[in-house]
Amino acid sequence: MERRHFLAASAAVGLAALDLPDAAAVTRRANQPGPVRVGAGEVTAIRTMTTTLGDAASELGGGHARHLAVRYLTIDVQRWLNGRYTETVGRDLFAATAELVHLIGWMARDEGNQGMSQRYHDHSYRLAAEAGENELAATALRGLADQHIDLGHIPTAVRIAQACEQRGSRLTNPKALAYYRNTYARAAAADGDRATATRMLSAAQAAIEQAPGQPGQSWASHYSHGRWAHESGMIHATLGDWEAAEEHLHLALDIHGLDRRRTRAIVLADLGHVQLKRGNTSQALATWGDFLDCAEGVQSVRIDDGLANISARLPALGDSPAAQELADRIIARA
């Protein structure tokens, strides 16, 4: 498919998620005849599996476990969705399934399968909205908005990011508020809207400063201070404020810490790029060396993008032995 056609299709999928879902779907399905009785135990099982698979993907990349998550969804969870349950259990079942479906969408995106990722995020949004779960619905919209930014479909990204922030504003969880406000800030920055981006950055910082350090049980409660610092740094980079960008990236790495290899590697790749933009070539090369160490064994399109970015910039750095060593390491990795 040509890029312009893919982008048009992507926009249609993303904007479709903003249509109001059928809020009565859970009620209609509750207590209907089905092959299996579903209770709280099945809901707990889905959430346990989602956590386990998500931890593996966060450490090693989405390419490692997506097929396991899809198999679990299509064999076990699908059978429970078609089973018998009360309205209360049904809402919990829809919410837990929305989390699993969102995870699969994230995994597909991390593998580079953008079309599949969008379809899963769209479905996750509908399940969450039907269950009355504003946080899960906003998180699915965030996934769609982020993806449209990366695809270069900025007007659609802005609209979805704004809807994400508006739905999230109904919540009181400060981590969720920071999560969705930074989403809108990133879209606005990509659109050249400095005023909105700066306003949302400030609002996100105000929220994260009120957030506890430990992760909570909900999806957005896992939005750590380190992730906030990384995302804020890259928004500042988009706005051309390289000093603030480097400050936030160091904050993510050195103060708040990032305990997942995939995440830490991505931040190191970004930090090296920012250091190079600031004219600190030797620091950038050293940071990229740390990136290669951290990225070993991780399967992620974000890691591949980092490698491609570094490879493209090394020839412009002249005959530096450190640059040549990096180039050799990247070739050996291929």
- Whether the predicted pLDDT of 4 surpasses 80: no
Tokens representing 303 are 């890691």
- Whether the predicted pLDDT of 180 surpasses 90: yes
CB 142 within 8 A of CB 187: no
CB 127 within 8 A of CB 104: no
Q: What is the per-residue pLDDT across 105-164, written as a single tens digit (0 to 9) for each?
A: 999 999 989 889 999 999 999 899 888 899 999 999 999 999 999 889 999 999 999 999
CB 132 within 8 A of CB 168: no
> What mean pLDDT is reported for the chain?
88
State the average pLDDT over residues 243-265. 92
Q: What does the pLDDT read at residue 14?
A: 47
- pTM score: 0.86
Split at pLDDT 50, 70, 90, the class of 170 is confident
84, β-bridge pairs: 37
Phi, psi dihedrals of residue 243, rounded to the nearest 5°: -65, -50
State the average pLDDT over residues 165-186. 94
Q: What does the pLDDT read at residue 162?
A: 96
Q: What does the pLDDT read at residue 28?
A: 63
Burial letters for 280-303: b for 16+ Cβ neighbours within 10 Å, e otherwise? ebebbbebbbbbbebbeebbbbbb
Q: What is the per-residue pLDDT across 62-93, written as a single tens digit (0 to 9) for each?
A: 877 889 999 999 999 999 998 899 999 999 99
| Rounded Cα gap, residues 238 and 296, in angstroms | 28
Q: What does the pLDDT read at residue 275?
A: 98
Tokens representing 121 are 């995020």
- Higher-scoring residue by pLDDT: 207, 14: 207
CB 238 within 8 A of CB 189: yes
CB 299 within 8 A of CB 283: no
Q: What is the per-residue pLDDT across 184-226, written as a single tens digit (0 to 9) for each?
A: 999 999 999 999 999 999 999 999 999 987 776 777 888 899 9
The gap from C-alpha 231 to its chain's centroid, in whole angstroms, comes to: 11
Split at pLDDT 50, 70, 90, the class of 2 is very low
CB 278 within 8 A of CB 263: no
Q: Which of 150, 304, 318, 307 is nearest to 234 (CA)?
A: 150
Q: What is the per-residue pLDDT across 290-326, written as a single tens digit (0 to 9) for each?
A: 999 999 988 899 999 999 999 999 999 988 899 999 9
- Whether the predicted pLDDT of 22 surpasses 60: no
| Rounded Cα gap, residues 240 and 303, in angstroms | 23
CB 91 within 8 A of CB 131: yes
Q: What does the pLDDT read at residue 6?
A: 34
